[in-house]
Amino acid sequence: MARAIVIGAGLAGLASAVRLAKLGHEVTLCETEDRLGGALGRVEADGFSWDAGAASTTLPAALRDLFRKSGRPIESLVQLEPISEPRRHLFADGSILDLPVGDRAAQLQAWTDLAGEQTANRWTALVDGYGETWQILRKTSLEPPLIDKLPLNAIRGLKPWQSLERVAERNLDDDRARAVLKYYATQHGSEARLTPGYVGVWSYLERTFGRWTIAGGFGALADALAQRATERKIDVRTGAEVVSVSTSGGTVTGVRLADGTELPAEIVVSDLDPRRLYAQLVNDPAAKKIRKRVEQTHQAQAAYVVHLGLRDPVPTLPFETVLHGSPTVTIRTGGQAPAGHQAWSVLVHGYPTDDVLDLLVARGLHVRDKVVSRQTSASWWAGVAWEGYRTARRRAGNISPVKGLYCVGAGAHPGSGVPATTLGAAIVAEAVGKA
């Protein structure tokens, strides 16, 4: 049995903690805030409840595996529910695309109805091709730790030098189809011209595995993981800020808290921004090279989020609606509301120069006089912005050059989002192994 300390109780930190505890390690979880979950939380006001961060995910198997490998199945605590409604795309020219997820034939028909058979076939062929991309990424980067050098055939398959914008221009013949593909960069705070084309693999994952939410909102996932931490007898410490990671000769020896408490450990897993971890918390010569590397990365732009409580009647929207334009705006309707009301979360991707309600009205959604509650969500750590394909190598690896130190979360490999951060925790647990 090794003593393990997990710094930060976001999704990746919680996932790492419960996995390591199930493997037989003695785990202490240190969280600066007074609640667990990080961006997985709720905003509650005036009888409304909204997801503070994630509201849906693809790759539900990643969450199922997390709960199965840490104890009982996920269904024993929360219910994963498929989103059956298409994602709606509203374009600047007034046209509307209701694009189904989890259904190849339905996607083909939706594009045919909007833009004709040629555009539909081009979209379908591109998404089909991402199936090979997914297999390469899964075998080289997501199941094992990220290896130093990918095999030449994998590099040829991924074509990392091609940007998502270039892939869209080359393979799609309709500006609306290009906008939909590039949205996969926009929603993660990056520019399509600087994002590798293989990131479009998310179009394949959504079409293949669907998109899922959790009954009661994703805040329920944080609650479920907190309960799992209790079941696994993890020492959970809230209000416990870690100010340094102690090392000796390139090996972790523990952490020091802001109140001066020293906690010894053979394993430390960080769910912090790796730039902060290596610049402020780790002072060991073994970290010098990776410190310089992660310092070259920059934070992705978090969406500006406003939660609206609306009085009926309001326009009927699906679970998610994307208003393409400058800036791109996403509306989520999965919040909880009193009878006769709706709960919307409005995410503005980019620097908003106009009020959110002005942006909605300009896109034809006249709800200004329906607002009975308005809450602005605090921004959260959005991970690393793509700045060309080399960003993948500058992002912190899950396994650190400091022995016993590991990194998970949005700023580490394999990136931000529920599936990626959950998979990162799985990689760390596999690397640490059983007690």
What is residue 379's predicted lDDT score, i.e. its pLDDT? 66
Q: Are 40 and 222 in contact (CB under 8 A)?
A: yes
Distance from C-alpha of 48 to C-alpha of 433, rounded to nearest angstrom: 43
Q: How far is CA 270 from CA 62, 121, 282, 428, in A?
A: 20, 44, 11, 11
What is the token pair recorded at 338?
């009193």
pLDDT of amino acid 353 = 78
Cis, bond preceding 151 (omega within 30 deg of 0) = no
Hey, what domains does the chain have and what are their CATH numbers? 3-39+61-80+218-299+385-432 (3.50.50.60), 101-210 (no CATH), 304-376 (3.30.70)
Mean pLDDT for each 10-residue chunk of the chain (435 residues)?
Answer: 95 98 98 92 95 93 96 95 96 96 96 98 98 93 69 87 97 98 94 96 96 93 96 97 97 97 98 96 95 95 94 96 95 96 94 88 95 86 90 92 97 93 96 94
User: What's the token pair of residue 282?
Assistant: 């780790």
Q: Give the per-residue SS3 of 157-225.
A: HHCCCCEHHHHHHHHCCCHHHHHHHHHHHHCCCCCHHHCEHHHHHHHHHHHHHCCEEECCCCHHHHHHH
- For residue 377, the model assigns a pLDDT of 81
What does the pLDDT read at residue 81? Answer: 96
- Please give the pLDDT value at position 141: 83
pLDDT at 153 (0 to 100): 86
Kindly tell me the burial class for residue 119, based on how many C-beta atoms sit within 10 Å of its own C-beta (0-12, 13-18, 19 or more).
middle
| Tokens standing for residue 287 | 């970290």
Residue 156, H or E segment: helix 152-158
